[in-house]
């Protein structure tokens, strides 16, 4: 073992500086690792609709999927987190930020892509993104130009940056929406129904953009499209009628259904009878005939065949049967 007293003082000082820098970097990474904590959040509208009922979730850094049908309360939850509407009760914290009380502090570290947003059709993507950067308070021109260039490259729009937005496809507009949401280098990014209406090619491009963002940011993906969550998210929750009916890791959630899903192709007139006698969780047409999936602890016989469960089976079992078998 080398005696410390024999080490060159200059080398010792250099090593100390390097270790100090490493320590600072590690602490910065630790501090930057945010977690969003939602505790007993409730919201009832004036017409009596209970949009949120005691929602509690812990969302770490990474991609988090919030899955549920239209009208389940997803958009209400997203708007509440984004400080666009008030909750009746409960709390939301992003790290040390009390979101319901410190709205301005949250907005400084928030990126938000709503379900629907408008764009100026006769302006190019480059000009409009630069304008948004000015509104975000990025006053240094060269810094702003570099940021706009980097974000357009990140979202695969740089080659069409001079093109007016009216000529953009739906997927290109969604990617531009992500670019504007990233202008302030957010610690929390909310995307609400981002792939609705996109063709498969554009959906995959959008997946690639989001997957990169989830490495260092809390990203909440709110959607009713099961494939969105299956492709991107390491954690998820299913919400229905304003309540969380399931939460966890998608792989483990699917594993919990192993050996419990069976399928059968039937005639259309038989569908009502099968729904009365079995726990039918989904139905699809195959060559004009319904193929049903049922949930059962034991093989129901009667021509049913066991199948490997997927996230769609989990989703339908919760939404249409409200079994809540796997809630934490």
The total number of structural domains in the chain stands at 2
Instruction: Tell me if 159 sits within 8 A of 170, measured CB to CB.
Output: no
Of 250, 278, 304, the domain-final residue: 250
CATH of the domain at 64: 3.40.50.300
Same domain assignment for residues 86 and 226: yes
pLDDT of residue 314: 92
Same domain assignment for residues 292 and 162: no
Of 199, 223, 250, the domain-final residue: 250
| 243's tokens | 């309540």
Whether this prediction's pTM lies above 0.75 is answered by yes
Of 226, 250, 274, the domain-final residue: 250
Same domain assignment for residues 222 and 262: no
Domain assignment of residue 28, yes or no: no
Three-state secondary structure along the chain?
CCCHHHCCHHHHHHHHHHHHHHHHHHHHHHHHCCEEEEEEEEEECCCCCEEEEEEEEEEECEEEEEECCCCCCHHHHHHHHCCCCCCCEEEEEECCEECCCCHHHHHCCEEEECCCCCCCCCCEHHHHHHHHHHHCCCCCHHHHHHHHHHHHHHCCCHHHCCCEHHHCCHHHHHHHHHHHHCCCCCCEEEEECCCCCCCHHHHHHHHHHHHHHCCCCEEEEEECCHHHHHHHCCEEEEEECCEEEEEECHHHHHHCCCCCEEEEECCHHHHHHHHHHCCEEEEEEECCEEEEEEECCCCCCCCCEECCCCHHHHHHHHHCCCCCCCCC
Same domain assignment for residues 52 and 127: yes
Domain assignment of residue 24, yes or no: no
Alpha-carbon separation of residue 30 from 21, 38, 61, 210 (angstroms): 14, 21, 11, 22
Domain assignment of residue 270, yes or no: yes
Please give the radius of gyration of the chain, using alpha carbons only, rounded to the nearest integer.
Answer: 24
Q: How far apart are CA 295 and CA 308, in angstroms?
A: 12
Tokens 């009667």 locate to 302
Same domain assignment for residues 235 and 281: no
Same domain assignment for residues 207 and 275: no
List, run by run, the mean pLDDT of 10-residue segments along the chain (328 residues).
Answer: 48 47 45 82 95 96 92 92 96 96 94 85 94 91 94 92 92 90 92 81 81 86 87 92 93 91 93 92 88 93 92 88 44
Same domain assignment for residues 133 and 218: yes
Tokens 């308070």 locate to 137
Of the candidates 115, 136, 181, the one whose C-alpha atom is nearest the C-alpha of residue 154 is: 181
Same domain assignment for residues 308 and 198: no
Domain assignment of residue 162, yes or no: yes
Q: How far apart are CA 198 and CA 196, in angstroms?
A: 6
| 226's tokens | 């099961």
Domain assignment of residue 327, yes or no: no
Same domain assignment for residues 235 and 308: no
Domain assignment of residue 291, yes or no: yes
Name all contacts of 134-137 with Cβ < 8 Å and 24+ positions apart.
136/183, 136/184
| 168's tokens | 């953009």
Domain assignment of residue 235, yes or no: yes
Q: How far apart are CA 198 and CA 184, in angstroms?
A: 26
> What is the torsional sign of CA 169, 171, 177, 180?
negative
Same domain assignment for residues 240 and 279: no
Same domain assignment for residues 150 and 233: yes
Same domain assignment for residues 170 and 99: yes
> What is the torsional sign of CA 187, 69, 79, 42?
negative
Domain assignment of residue 201, yes or no: yes
| 322's tokens | 């409200």
Structural domain range at position 213: 35-250
Tokens 């039937």 locate to 266
């Amino acid at each position: 073992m080398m005696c410390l007293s024999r080490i060159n003082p200059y080398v010792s000082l250099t090593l100390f500086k390097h270790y100090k820098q490493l320590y600072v970097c590690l602490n910065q990474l630790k501090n930057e690792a945010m977690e969003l904590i939602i505790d007993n959040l409730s919201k009832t509208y004036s017409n009596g609709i209970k949009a949120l009922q005691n929602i509690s979730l812990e969302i770490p850094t990474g991609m988090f999927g919030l899955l549920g049908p239209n009208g389940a309360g997803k958009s209400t939850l997203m708007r509440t987190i984004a400080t666009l509407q008030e909750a009746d009760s409960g709390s939301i914290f992003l790290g040390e930020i009390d979101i319901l009380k410190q709205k301005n502090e949250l907005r400084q570290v928030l990126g938000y892509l709503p379900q629907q947003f408008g764009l100026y059709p006769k302006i190019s993507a480059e000009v409009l993104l630069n304008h948004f950067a000015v509104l975000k308070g990025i006053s240094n021109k060269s810094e702003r130009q570099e940021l706009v260039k980097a974000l357009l490259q990140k979202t695969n729009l740089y080659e069409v940056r001079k093109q007016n937005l009216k000529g953009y496809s739906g997927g290109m507009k969604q990617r531009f929406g992500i670019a504007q949401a990233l202008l302030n280098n957010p610690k929390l990014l909310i995307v609400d129904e981002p792939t609705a209406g996109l063709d498969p090619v554009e959906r995959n491009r959008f997946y690639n953009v989001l997957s990169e963002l989830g490495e260092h940011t809390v990203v909440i993906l709110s959607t009713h499209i099961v494939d969105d969550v299956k492709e991107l998210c390491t954690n998820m929750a299913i919400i229905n009628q304003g309540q969380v009916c399931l939460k966890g890791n998608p792989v483990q959630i699917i594993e919990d259904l192993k050996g419990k899903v069976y399928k059968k192709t039937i005639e259309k007139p038989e569908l009502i009878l099968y729904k009365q006698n079995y726990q039918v969780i989904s139905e699809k047409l195959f060559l004009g005939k319904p193929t049903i999936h049922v949930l059962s602890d034991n093989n129901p016989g009667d021509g049913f065949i066991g199948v490997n469960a997927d996230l769609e089976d989990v989703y339908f079992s919760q939404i249409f049967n409200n079994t809540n078998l796997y809630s934490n």
